[in-house]
């Protein structure tokens, strides 16, 4: 049994954050925090220990998700996965993030992404196939899916 993940949710839509939290917990992982703005997100990053942060690009203070990802990268506190309806706004270098789960995602798509990420974080590279709807950043593509 692989150790479950501690997840930080950075998402401005309460409804989506709520449901994401439920799904994460149902899958056996834990949610250590929820932030709706970049300020909240920085505070949450400083005060919690997370393995993975799911970061929306668009937050209550604007399209600041990429800044949040950069901050997390600088602090080396956790890994980042973008979760956005606007994947085209992600810079080419992905600000160091693993990849992106494009909205709208499916429940099963999210669950398989969680499994994939759990393997990738705990025992890289992941054994499972890359889930539909999950796109790896160019840097992680090389490390996690060299033949894909």
Partner 1 sequence: MDWKRTREPADAWHMTDDLHVEHGKGDPFAAAIRATRMSMIITDPRQQDNPIVFANDAFLRLTGYERQEVIGRNCRFLQGPKTDKEAIGQLRKAIEEVADVSVDILNYRKDGSTFWNALYISPVSNDRGELLFYFASQLDVSDRKRSERRITADKERFEKAVQDRTRELEAALEAQTTLLHEVDHRVKNNLQMISSLILMQRRTITDEAARQSLTTTLERIEALSTVHRRLYQSKDVSRFDVSDFARDLISDLVTASGRTHINSRLDLEPVIIPAEKATPVALIVNELVTNALKHAFKEHPDGATAGHIGVRMSQPDGHLNIEVSDDGVGMAGTVAETSFGMRLIKSLARQLHAEVEWDDAAPGTRVVISIPNEPQHRGNAS
Residues in CB range of 130: below 8 A, 6 or more apart: 116, 136, 145, 148
Q: How far apart are CB 134 and partner 1 at their closest, in Å?
A: 11
In the set 92, 104, 147, 148, which binds partner 1 (CB under 8 A)?
Answer: 104
Q: How far apart are CB 49 and partner 1 at their closest, in Å?
A: 27
Return the bridge partners of 62, or none.
Answer: 59
* 62 near partner 1 (CB under 8 A): no
Instruction: Supply 77's token pair.
Output: 């506190």
Contact 51, 3 (CB under 8 A): no
Asked, as a colleague might, if the bond just before 125 is cis with ω within 30 of 0, I would say yes
* 102 near partner 1 (CB under 8 A): yes
* 23 near partner 1 (CB under 8 A): yes
Residue 73 or 130 having the CB closest to partner 1: 130
- The dihedral built from the CA positions of residue 138, 143, 146 and 148, taken in this order, carries a sign that is negative
Residues in CB range of 143: below 8 A, 6 or more apart: 124, 125
In the set 37, 61, 70, 103, which binds partner 1 (CB under 8 A)?
Answer: 103
* 85 near partner 1 (CB under 8 A): yes
Window of 1-9, 11-19, 42-50, 72-80 that interacts with partner 1 by CB under 8 A: 11-19
Binding site for partner 1 (CB under 8 A): 13, 15-16, 18-20, 22-23, 58, 85-87, 102-109, 111-112, 129, 131-133
């Amino acid at each position: 049994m692989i150790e479950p993940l501690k997840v930080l949710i950075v998402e401005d839509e309460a409804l989506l954050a709520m449901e994401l939290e439920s799904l994460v917990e149902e899958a056996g992982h834990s949610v250590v925090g929820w932030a709706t703005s970049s300020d909240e997100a920085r505070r949450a990053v400083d005060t919690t220990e997370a393995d993975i942060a799911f970061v929306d690009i668009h937050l209550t203070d604007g399209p600041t998700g990429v800044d949040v990802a950069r901050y997390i990268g600088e602090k080396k506190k956790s890994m980042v996965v973008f979760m956005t309806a606007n994947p085209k706004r992600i810079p080419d270098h992905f600000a160091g993030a693993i990849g992106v789960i494009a909205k709208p995602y499916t429940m099963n798509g999210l669950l398989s992404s969680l499994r994939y990420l759990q393997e990738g974080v705990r025992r890289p590279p992941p054994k499972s196939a890359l889930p539909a709807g999950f796109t790896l950043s160019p840097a992680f593509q090389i490390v996690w899916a060299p033949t894909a």
